Structure 1
């Protein structure tokens, strides 16, 4: 009995010592930080009253230029992070010393939860090899081949909008429609499937996409383990995706591959390129090939990443254009002029002539970056010029994208929507890494070109055909974000008055 009591006391003492050591780490180091609470660290407001990006934005502005180092300490629950407060150090993490900060520390379990082991999550040499294999898939030449397919879905988007409005203007919740547009685009480009999401609000592609993003397989405690100890969680055989989500995407990829190989079908899309790599693997070329599970994981993340981010960006852009009719009119004049030059049709090369549209999209991404913070994990020791500011391996690094994008040092009057900020001369005057909607460095978003292409197509066609105005009784001004999401998205959706533009 006394032995058991002694062991219990010893275990409690050890646990108390670990808690003390962990939550006093930054204090003992003399690194500026907000005092943590136990067990939530500096994230007691997370997903209750604030989104993580806004917590990081507050930390960024509180400590920027107030310390003698490039970062401050931060705790996400019990895990130690630094929050970068110096823009030059952002470049160090993402580009200069990428070899020390190349991993993201995100849970993935290749054996038990294969779809989680994709380009956004895998680490080290495996990530490097996979990135090299997939990079040729996203060249401008490949985008040009896929452009007509994207345009066809864009034309369907316009038909659906047409059917939903009449005179006087109709109020539409546009984020749902736009997510169905991007689901159809990526569904056909990634899987070669006509998803018909635009016609069917309950289409499985949209439903499964939303489930994969917003629904959790486990409760909060297991999620904390997946976040705080991702490698241990994988070794223990944990899975994060819902079973029906995994089954849906695995079966679609399996059926698509079997059909195309059996019937010798070629579509010049993303799936064709993945199938080519699988066939190489099946023939013994493991260096250039990919397994079925690897292909399924890449198709899954391509759909998931492009589905949510692109549609949300378009929604925010239309919200800003509805709030600034002068900018909307200027953009429409550019789009109409370019289309008139090409007999009323949109072509891949003519997209480049829509320079003001590019600036509108960039300013939207500055104000409302859907991925509003970046995370990296130190894989090697890092020592700053001031040796006090060293970073130990396995420490997380958070880059506060939202804070940087709203920093008046780089963007005067940051709460104003000013597309001219992205005139070439203004871009050149800003330091590197002050615009990070797609990340930067070797681990930036590989699908950047595709994402921009589908946003440009959708935006150009919508602005050419419709006028958008605010409906403030349902959509707040300024916009409010959902606090329960990791990605930035509008609380309650975005409701706008939409009217058809009568061509003269």
Structure 2
């Protein structure tokens, strides 16, 4: 018989601390006010997730302040949450105790019919046809904003902060491809997108803790409502709003993402471009409101694309370069594949050929496994929900978290999990990977809609960079690299690598 445990509102700071004992779940002992957050002062968030899953098993509980969070690392239950019973979990809870209007309207934080409307609009910007059109501007950004900087470092034999270099490249790509706005981050630091791009992610550690432990009224008094810097949110949102109005006024039908959002039709889909799960999500329910996005909603989607496509892309490229520097044999194998692919095309490669490079795909996926940007996913059930095979019912409104990073680093699912072994993702070995243990982009209807663009930008940049340069460890290279303190994502501070020009 299932055991249903109802959680009372936390009027007292430790009132819920017996929740998991009653439910029969293990977990680290909480501390008044902070719950289990103080552990982050001593261990990075990614490493902490790995340690806890090893210690407490695949289903356990932690406290964010006084708020209980059920942790679910069991693949079959992950499938249940993200795919099979998606409709029950199509409600993403706030990850802070108060919300910011822009953040709350982004695709990744909306829910129900609002999410379906936003997903429909944003999906038009990431179709296969549109990715083909984005290939040329991404290639231009590689030539103009990435290769020259790497040549400068190679010629001067100075170590290269790849997080900074790739951030500038990713920023130039996202402003051009998402908004149709060319930028030069190195030479135009005053541009509104450039001036606010890095500061938007800088939030003092005390504010990160405050967002998770303080009640809403206290956060409002302190004017804290987001993991992003609020002044920078306003600046970026203002710039995006100006672009949207200018495009709408001019009837702009450009190939950039925001133009696709502006011109999207709420009830028009393309079966060839949108996967069946997303199609099902869009049409789920009998009374879905088929209305175009408001200007505020468009601004929120633009902000979502901007932040996700900038910092996370830079992290991925930097981590790939780092792993290749540490493992020269993998770098040599990828280089050989790249040279062979461009042998008869003057060193160029088509969109379709780029997608068919097996070792390139394996290297990128293995990097995503080791260094997934999202440390975990959070979901909330719309009604009391049984976790299959456990005898446990999660009460309606009780947040669950899926520790992506912990599963990616599990020796059970990925033998010798801490080693960089791209071969595990080659076509002949993929069958060994247990479904729902590799989730760098999530899965199901709420899979990351920007995945095609992430892979296009990453692979195209690597193709042209590795044709011309070799990465090597420098005395300033930190092993492991230093990551920022953040409750939900893994992000680099800096990463110094030697860049050597090939003959």
Q: Place the TM-score, normalised by the shorter chain, in its bin.
A: 0.7 to 0.9
Contact residue 323 and residue 420 of structure 2 kept, 8 A = yes
What do you get for the CA RMSD once the two structures are aligned?
3.2
Q: 1:242 to 1:330 in 2, by over 3 A?
A: closer
Deviation at 1:275, TM superposition (A): 2.2
Contact residue 211 and residue 224 of structure 2 kept, 8 A = no
Distance 1:58 1:218 in 2: 24
Counterpart for residue 427 of structure 1: 430
Distance 2:293 2:10 in 1: 47
Q: Is 1:175 aligned with 2:168?
A: no
Among 47, 52, 66, the alignment partner of 1:59 is 52
Q: 1:238 to 1:62 in 2, by over 3 A?
A: closer
Among 113, 121, 124, the alignment partner of 2:109 is 121
Q: SS at 1:82's partner residue?
A: strand
Q: Is 1:249 aligned with 2:236?
A: yes
- The 5 A counterparts of 1:270-289 are 270-277=257-264, 287-289=290-292
Counterpart for residue 203 of structure 2: 215
Deviation at 1:430, TM superposition (A): 2.2
Q: Is 1:351 aligned with 2:354?
A: yes
Q: 1:17 to 1:102 in 2, by over 3 A?
A: closer
Q: 1:305 to 1:166 in 2, by over 3 A?
A: closer
Deviation at 1:60, TM superposition (A): 0.9
Distance 1:345 1:221 in 2: 48
Contact residue 100 and residue 225 of structure 2 kept, 8 A = yes
Contact residue 376 and residue 488 of structure 2 kept, 8 A = no
Q: 1:387 to 1:416 in 2, by over 3 A?
A: closer
- The 5 A counterparts of 1:78-477 are 78-106=66-94, 113-167=101-155, 169-200=157-188, 204-215=192-203, 219=207, 223-224=211-212, 239-240=225-226, 242-277=229-264, 287-385=290-388, 388-471=391-474, 473-477=475-479
TM-score, normalised by the number of residues in structure 2: 0.86
Distance 1:88 1:455 in 2: 31
Counterpart for residue 36 of structure 2: 42
Distance 1:324 1:270 in 2: 36
Q: 1:244 to 1:261 in 2, by over 3 A?
A: same
Q: SS at 2:37's partner residue?
A: coil
Q: 1:224 to 1:76 in 2, by over 3 A?
A: closer
Q: SS at 2:184's partner residue?
A: coil
Counterpart for residue 32 of structure 1: 26
Contact residue 96 and residue 212 of structure 2 kept, 8 A = no
Contact residue 91 and residue 433 of structure 1 kept, 8 A = yes
Contact residue 181 and residue 198 of structure 1 kept, 8 A = no
How many pairs does the alignment contain? 474
Q: Is 1:482 aligned with 2:469?
A: no
Q: SS at 2:160's partner residue?
A: strand
Deviation at 1:452, TM superposition (A): 0.8
Deviation at 1:412, TM superposition (A): 1.1
TM-score, normalised by the number of residues in structure 1: 0.85
Deviation at 1:242, TM superposition (A): 4.3
Distance 1:98 1:313 in 2: 28
Q: 1:203 to 1:336 in 2, by over 3 A?
A: farther
Distance 1:455 1:15 in 2: 45
Q: 1:420 to 1:112 in 2, by over 3 A?
A: closer
Q: SS at 1:45's partner residue?
A: helix
Q: 1:458 to 1:443 in 2, by over 3 A?
A: same
Deviation at 1:196, TM superposition (A): 0.7
- Structure 2: 5+ residue runs without aligned partners? 1-7, 268-288
Distance 1:16 1:99 in 2: 28
Question: Is the deviation greater in 376-385 or in 389-398?
Answer: 376-385
Contact residue 421 and residue 427 of structure 1 kept, 8 A = yes
Contact residue 118 and residue 294 of structure 1 kept, 8 A = yes
